[in-house]
Amino acid sequence: MSSQTVRSTRHTVSVAAPASVVYGMLADASRRPVFLPSCVHVERMEFDGAVERPWVWDAADDRVRSTRVRRVLQPHTRSIDFEEFAGDETSWPGAVAAGTWSVESEGDKRSSPTLRYEELSPSRTAAPGALEADARLRLERIRQMAEQWDRLDELLLSFEDSTRVDGPPELVYDFLHRVEDRADLLPRVDSAQVTEERPGVRIAALDTCATPPGLTATGKAVRLCFPAAGRIVHKETVTPDLIAAHTGEWSLVPDESGPAVISAHHVLIRQEAVGEVLGEQACPADARL
């Protein structure tokens, strides 16, 4: 890692969960979009069992930033070294940030994860206090998720639907892509607005008819479009009270009889809201229905 540190921070939190559980959550980058509010999507580019190169998209204040990451997983020491590279570069120049996640055991039921983070590029320097605030926020979110580890099977919900379309896959993809036209095409959508920061990165806001009749529900999502692969990945940034996180993906699988359209979803139920929304006697299983 580069030694030209511009700014650094180091924070630790105590967690009521085994060290193996916490390390497992940190090591599984694919779950970050569900566990971390700012993370939109993680695309694994390479992995040899120890060194992983994911491409990560994060959103904050209606801005989306992509970062390429090199991670070295060391399960025997429960640590993960990482380097971050500017996402809009086509090569791998010098890292703009680096750091280490490490997890110390505090007995069978407690542990203490630590995040050490260094900014290595002046262009990446955050506003005063932002680096520390972001580190604390990430650790706090990991603590919240890890302390629910024995209930995550109830709180996490994944499902998918599929259908086959008799038509060109290009037209199907175009329909899925044009969120701004939903109000004209779908009766439940009252209005749709889309901003596009750069090609393939879109922020969509939709007003839809809600229950009871006469009410309107507002939704907002980041959509990452990969037309060459026939994929659109999305994450809701405004969710109903009962849902802590909702990510999904549209994908097209073409063949000679027409494309198969697959819609996959991953949902994290907000446990503390189950009783408030569904009644005092309700449990997470009721929210899954």
Tens-place pLDDT, residues 110-130:
999 999 999 887 655 556 677
Q: What's the N-to-C CA distance of the chain in angstroms?
A: 48
Last residue of a domain, one of 147, 181, 198: 147
My answer on whether 158 and 77 are in the same domain is no
My answer on whether 133 and 159 are in the same domain is no
Number of domains in the chain: 2
Residue 57 · residue 202 · CB < 8 Å: no
Last residue of a domain, one of 95, 128, 147: 147
* Residue 251, amino acid: S
- What CATH number does the domain containing 102 carry? 3.30.530.20
Residue 213 pLDDT: 62
* Mean pLDDT computed over every residue of the chain: 90
Residue 136 pLDDT: 92
Is the pLDDT at 1 greater than 60, yes or no?
Answer: no
Last residue of a domain, one of 114, 147, 180: 147
Residue 32 · residue 40 · CB < 8 Å: no
Instruction: Give the dihedral of Cα atoms 249, 255, 259, 262; nearest 10 deg.
Output: -30
My answer on whether 72 and 183 are in the same domain is no
Domain assignment of residue 78, given as a range: 7-147
d(CA 122, CA 120): 7
Per-residue pLDDT band for 285 (boundaries 50, 70, 90) equals confident
d(CA 19, CA 285): 27
My answer on whether 88 and 213 are in the same domain is no
Q: Is residue 2 in some structural domain?
A: no
Residue 163 · residue 262 · CB < 8 Å: no
- The whole-model pTM stands at 0.89
My answer on whether 107 and 137 are in the same domain is yes
My answer on whether 143 and 214 are in the same domain is no
Q: Is residue 1 in some structural domain?
A: no
My answer on whether 255 and 171 are in the same domain is yes
Tens-place pLDDT, residues 239-268:
988 999 999 999 999 888 889 999 999 999
175-185 CB burial, b ≥16 within 10 A, e <16: ebbebbebbee
Per-residue pLDDT band for 183 (boundaries 50, 70, 90) equals confident
